[in-house]
Structure 1
Amino acid sequence: MKTNFTPFDNVDLKFCIAIFSAILLITGILKKIWEIRKLPPGPWGYPFIGHLTLLGTNPAETFSKMAIQYGDIFFIRMGKWPTIVLNSKEAIDEALTKMPEIFSDRPKFYFNNAINKMKGLVFGEYSQRLRLHRKIATGVLQEFATSKSAPTEYLVRKESDILIQTWMQSQDYEFNPIHDIEMAVAAVIYQLLFGSNINCHSDQTFIDMVKNLKTVNEGASAGNFVNMLPWIRFIMPSKVKQLLERLELNKKFAEKCINESLPSYDKNHERGMVDGLITAANKYAEKEVHRDGITRGQIYSTIRDFIGAGIDTTSTTLQWTILLLSIHTNVQEKMQHEIDDILGGRRATLQDQGRLPYVEATILEVMRHGTIAPLNIPHSTSSDVKLRNYEIKKGTVVFCNIYGIFKDQNIWTDPNTFRPERFLSKNNTIIHERADIIATQFGVGRRRCIGDTLSKRELFLFITSIYQALKTNLRSDPSYGRIINLNCKPTPYKIQVNPRY
């Protein structure tokens, strides 16, 4: 006899849906737990915002404290972005040096996409096009800024003389030196780009460029939050709009400068790096060496990157130098004694870099103590990868905690003390293993700053010129603070200068 009975006749549909939902939920939780087990350890965060509210005003310092509990590689979430933090030179080398193809990408942050479309030397995504772009830009930089016949020495001497003369006019007063430092460093970069016959200090385009760059740096903290939590732009649209406008001004500035250079461009008489880049663009266009060869748009981005990174890093380091030497006048006097002994009355040249070890040690200690780039520019993974025993997913943000390395008591013993002697051997030579640690400030692996040699040369020439001519003394509170935006700057301070001769 036939029956219409089925095994599910007495089972409530809602009960089935509940059981099915519970199975899905438990499966999802178990899968998440399994994924977490494969990640580096790390603290618990909050939904949606992750660990952002736990980082404080100095995230690098917070990371250093977390590393004590979780080790030199740990996992956090920066808003929507899964993130690993590398807190030792060994961990950084394991990732960025040994696996550069995977750890050389950049996160697709909101502002980078909005302005640069993930292009450019500094913030562009890692690709064959970027590698060619870096090769060309490095060649042009070598030709115009870091070769033996380059005008760097002449330009720094010219701008340091203007700086010293300006400060001498204020020798009876206390003053804030930061603006003068920014103008001097920016003038060197500007003339390397566009030609050494420009009088920057009366050039309104140059003055506007420096002013706009400063505004962008000051607005960077707001930009960081929008990068991590893109929906915030709907809550504070005016700040986001203002920063976008400033970034757009930088872009238009680069376009304007190139467009003005083109009518007078002569490949046989290149005036600066911009002309060199135009020559390179034309060369690759004519030979069609690669369909992704350098374009005019890449020249724009190269100029923006040189102006931004080239000015800010060197300027910030010089600001820290003047502050720290104005506090630690004993270090200043030792440095001046070496300058007098080795140079006598003549000016320093680039050939003197290896002959002034205490000056070099002082510059290294300023970089370490000031920690100008506490987290460097973040990297991103371009594919899934295994780091040690951890499984890191594609698109994970990677922070290199330079601050943690520079303040590591196991390396430096007394990291909070300003002491250049830590970089000198018993034979009064630089300890290169320690100098190599400081070099991480310029990045590691294939995204290392291509302007690091230029920056070191500028610093050496500026510092020897200033302290050969002047003594500086602090005239404000020595318990300075730190302003952390794109770089870590000292809070404003005041000095007084006196001529040495």
Structure 2
Amino acid sequence: MKKMGEVYGPVVGTYVGPTQPIISVCGHEAIKEAMLNDDLSGRPELAIMMARTFGEGLGIMFVMGQFWQEQRRFTLRHLRDLGFGKTSIEDQMMGEVGDLIKDIENKSQSDPKKIADFKGIFQVSGINILWAIIAGERFQGHDPKFQELLGANELFFRTGKVFQSIFPIPVFLLKRLRFMRKFIGMKGELMEPIQKFIKKTIEDHRHRNMSDDEACDFIDVYLKEMNKQKAENPSTNFTEKQLISTIIDLFGAGAESTSGSIGFALIHLIRDQEVQQKMQMELDQISGEFFPTLNHRSSLPYTEAVLMEAQRCSSIAPLTVPHYAVKDTKLQGYAIPKGSLLSLNLYAVFQDSKYWKDPEVFRPERHLNDDGTKVIKSEHFNPFGIAALIKKFRFEPVPNEPLPSLDPTNGFTLGYQGFKAVVTPRP
């Protein structure tokens, strides 16, 4: 897509079959215009995504219209009420970071060369933070059912193919033609363990016999609303399948994006020891003997610049969720027919030499002002626990082995390859 954009311009139209337009959007201005155009804010009914949600258009990521507005509004309001996006959740986040640090310590101390394996290590913390809000409990990392769940989630994201998945293949063809499923990496049965796990959790919540004022997590408040609406309207959109689908959207995408971002950031810091040392010096100066918190964010410009640069160089989502033209419209002066699928290429923007000098180079300073005291054009980003890890440990390459690779593992999102590092506690 990036190469087509360099030849033909930022908006390139192609066809799948005789009638289905797919529009590739690569330039910064074109992507911004597309995002602001309500006529391009629809979501297509893609079979690969509907496989996650019982073959129906459910959840909050791949739906549109009044249904999406109603479900999204309810979900966001109650997630915020439960602490999501607020400093009130930070204590739990730091608790998970503490467990992660202990896990890394144990891995390092059990090896005579202090080498720790980081494959899949970050998913547990990310899922536990989400699951505490969704279901009011946390998992133990060694729980075999939890490990099975993590494996199914990872397999679903890694076997998918990010570009092929936007192809508008009818559901009945996917069910009948195995080569079609293989083409887009579809393994719908991989979602069954996750669906069953969530369904069992919902049943457990139902059996609590809670009163109206005892709702303490997202499942509780959703079940309460579902019962209320069913009494007034039997055809309500608040159903158990919709609840399961919403949790899958929050659970899968949230855990995957968090763990992937942390993994790539750590690989960049292992590969660039000078940047790691600068980050540690800033952390030591600002937070002293304690771990950094969100309150320190404005005083940690270099740390934030490192995290921004890691996301720019190694974005886990090279393409946005597919968009859909709900009516005939225009983009950058080009006619976009109703029914077109649009794929917005964030990777092309992050790697565009017009905006970034030497875009392939990892250089956090590009996000700072001249004296390095202020972040420039900061995007919202929650640093999670990576800063605490860098403050606690020194991460170095394994001697006599290649540096950890920045080449991603493909899928619906891009993941980091498993890697090892020498881990030593900092004094």
TM-score w.r.t. the length of structure 2 is 0.88
Aligned pairs for 1:277-296 within 5 A: 277-282=222-227, 284-285=229-230, 292=236, 294-296=238-240
Structure 2 partner of 1:348: 292
1:107–1:378 contact (8 Å) kept in structure 2: yes
Structure 2 partner of 1:18: none
Structure 2 partner of 1:219: 159
Q: Shift of residue 157 of structure 1?
A: 1.6
| 1:72 corresponds to 2:20 | no
Count of residues paired in the alignment: 411
Q: Shift of residue 208 of structure 1?
A: 2.3
Could you list the per-position Cα deviations for residues 428-480 of structure 1 after superposition, in whole angstroms to 9, with x for gaps in the alignment?
Answer: 11112xx34xx6xxxxxxxxxxxxxxxx33xx230121111111112242354
Aligned pairs for 1:134-153 within 5 A: 134-146=72-84, 148=86, 150=88, 152-153=89-90
Secondary structure, aligned partner of 2:320? coil
Q: Shift of residue 128 of structure 1?
A: 0.6
Structure 2 partner of 1:38: none
Letter in 2 for 1:234: L
Secondary structure, aligned partner of 2:13? strand
1:110–1:226 contact (8 Å) kept in structure 2: no
Structure 2 partner of 1:95: 34
Structure 2 partner of 1:401: 345
Unmatched segments (≥5 aa) in structure 1: 1-62, 440-455
1:326–1:332 contact (8 Å) kept in structure 2: yes
Secondary structure, aligned partner of 1:411? coil
Q: Shift of residue 263 of structure 1?
A: 1.5
**Distance (whole Å) between structure 1 residues aligned to residue 324 and residue 162 of structure 2:** 21
1:166 to 103, 108, 124: 103
Larger radius of gyration between Structure 1 and Structure 2: 1
Letter in 2 for 1:273: F
Stretch deviating more after TM superposition (261-270 or 81-90): 261-270
| 1:488 corresponds to 2:426 | no
Aligned pairs for 1:49-198 within 5 A: 63-78=1-16, 81-97=20-36, 99-100=37-38, 102-114=39-51, 115-124=54-63, 126-146=64-84, 148=86, 150=88, 152-171=89-108, 172-196=113-137, 198=138
Structure 1 partner of 2:391: 468
2:122–2:263 contact (8 Å) kept in structure 1: yes
2:396–2:421 contact (8 Å) kept in structure 1: yes
**Distance (whole Å) between structure 2 residues aligned to residue 307 and residue 104 of structure 1:** 23
TM-score w.r.t. the length of structure 1 is 0.76
1:111–1:227 contact (8 Å) kept in structure 2: no
Secondary structure, aligned partner of 1:268? helix
**Distance (whole Å) between structure 2 residues aligned to residue 191 and residue 346 of structure 1:** 25
Say if 1:241 and 1:84 are closer, same or farther in 2 by CA, change over 3 A.
closer
**Distance (whole Å) between structure 1 residues aligned to residue 16 and residue 258 of structure 2:** 29
Secondary structure, aligned partner of 1:83? strand
**Distance (whole Å) between structure 1 residues aligned to residue 163 and residue 23 of structure 2:** 21
Letter in 1 for 2:374: T
Letter in 1 for 2:147: I
1:186–1:210 contact (8 Å) kept in structure 2: no
Could you list the per-position Cα deviations for residues 308-339 of structure 1 after superposition, in whole angstroms to 9, with x for gaps in the alignment?
Answer: 11101111001101111111111111111111
| 1:419 corresponds to 2:392 | no
Structure 1 partner of 2:179: 236
Could you list the per-position Cα deviations for residues 111-132 of structure 1 after superposition, in whole angstroms to 9, with x for gaps in the alignment?
Answer: 23443412210112x1111101
Aligned pairs for 1:355-370 within 5 A: 355-370=299-314
2:119–2:417 contact (8 Å) kept in structure 1: no
Letter in 1 for 2:353: Q
1:498 to 401, 405, 424: 424
Q: Shift of residue 370 of structure 1?
A: 0.2
**Distance (whole Å) between structure 2 residues aligned to residue 352 and residue 190 of structure 1:** 26
| 1:430 corresponds to 2:360 | no
Letter in 1 for 2:30: A
Could you list the per-position Cα deviations for residues 52-94 of structure 1 after superposition, in whole angstroms to 9, with x for gaps in the alignment?
Answer: xxxxxxxxxxx11111111111112346742111112211222
